[in-house]
Structure 1
């Protein structure tokens, strides 16, 4: 059985929108794009590289797919360090995309989930394999949570309050009971928290 693992860079007020670049996602007039850049990237790179070595597939909403395919999908696989490593990995593993508007996907090894996203994801989750990774994709995550399809959340929490932006746990998010299984602080004050779904009892 595979596991659905959500990973997110998140502020103290729950914002996950556009951490990596000024123009990554300006929807709703968001003016804080690239907020992650204020912190030392080497701290993130160490554990993100380890996490992504376990990813056997990507599960993405349409907007995140567009961002990823326009970056990892075209970047140089021979680049040094983590960028090259992730570019090679993301190009090779399957990408599953939730979209009501896309009819074809240009990034190699990409597949549309179809109209019944929860059923398609449940079927993927039942297959043998490792971690199916979700980055970004806040609306998709909300849908998956409503159907109890998320096994783990890995949240990299930045000591920053933005006051606006898309939130991971937005209004109307499904009741979710989690257990904190690991937590550690980085020198910059960033917290890395890992939560697992709690079973009944």
Structure 2
């Protein structure tokens, strides 16, 4: 079995993926729009997220996202969100951090990051679908090193003009293949991409 590394991101039309869930999620660099996703509910996005969780059997998270999840989901294993809390509490959680002394008090948590390429290969051998949720800084590393199998973007019809982007200036050039697209309510758009090998080519249109 060769598992997949699946990146899940909510993003704005101008590519900002910072702090969609709440004001305190990631206020770094003075980001003033934390929680921008909240006023834009979408049944299609919710349905798509639910479907993706059905095969999830491990999480790969950046340090900031891990701390947010660890402080929230273990206390939300009942009620409407209970099934997500139970799932996240149950599955192995891998935390990308260079800090060997990181406090990983949430059950099933393991630090990675000493040799990410090798560790990702091991995760593919152990798990079917490893989901990277949020964790923009980690995602940028995975994208640059092509250490992923699917990039799943839920794009919202909003422009913020600032914040951490999926592909910031200086991102590594890369070829991608669109494997699925879907329009949703409220103007949302689901785009799923897979990486393609080779260097980005250029030319002149019409020649």
Could you tell me the TM-score, scaled by structure 2's length?
0.89
Equivalent in the alignment of 1:21: 22
Equivalent in the alignment of 1:155: 153
Q: Is the 8 A contact 1:99 1:112 kept in 2?
A: yes
Give the corresponding residue for 2:121: 122
CA 1:122–1:171 in structure 2 vs 1: closer, same or farther (change >3 Å)?
Answer: farther
In 2 relative to 1, CA 15–193 (structure 1 residues): closer, same or farther, beyond 3 Å? same
Q: Structure 1 regions of 5+ residues with no counterpart?
A: none
Return the alpha-carbon distance in structure 2 between the equivalents of residues 157 and 134 of structure 1.
Answer: 17
**CA separation of 1:41 and 1:106: change in aligned 2, threshold 3 A:** farther
Contact 1:142 1:174 survives alignment (8 Å): no
Find the counterpart in structure 1 of residue 8 from structure 2.
Answer: 7
State the SS of the aligned residue for 1:91. Answer: helix
Structure 2 residue matching 1:37: 3-state secondary structure: coil
What is the Cα deviation at residue 113 of structure 1?
Answer: 0.9
Distance across 1 between alignment mates of 2:64 and 2:118: 21
In 2: Cα distance, 1:43 partner to 1:34 partner? 19
Report the Cα distance in structure 1 between the residues aligned to 2:143 and 2:43, rounded to whole angstroms.
31
Following superposition, the deviation at residue 128 of structure 1 comes to 4.6
Alpha-carbon displacement from aligned partner over 1:45-75 (angstroms, at most 9, x marks no partner):
2111111111111001111111111111x32
Task: Please tell me whether the aligned partners of residues 42 and 185 of structure 2 are also in contact (alpha carbons under 8 angstroms).
Answer: no
Counterpart of 2:53? Answer: 52
SS at match of 1:121: helix
Task: Map Cα deviations across residues 71-95 of structure 1 (whole Å, 9 max, x no partner).
Answer: 11x3231222xx1111010011000
1: CA distance between counterparts of 2:78 and 2:49?
19
Please say which of residues 153-162 and 181-190 is displaced more in the overlay.
Answer: 181-190
Query: CA RMSD for the aligned pairs?
Result: 1.7
Give the counterpart of 1:194 among 180, 187, 192: 192
What number of residue pairs does the alignment pair up?
Answer: 197
Task: Report the structure number with the largest CA radius of gyration.
Answer: 2
2:202 corresponds to which residue?
none
User: C-alpha separation between the residues in 1 aligned to 2:26 and 2:103?
Assistant: 22
Gaps of 5+ in 2: 199-207
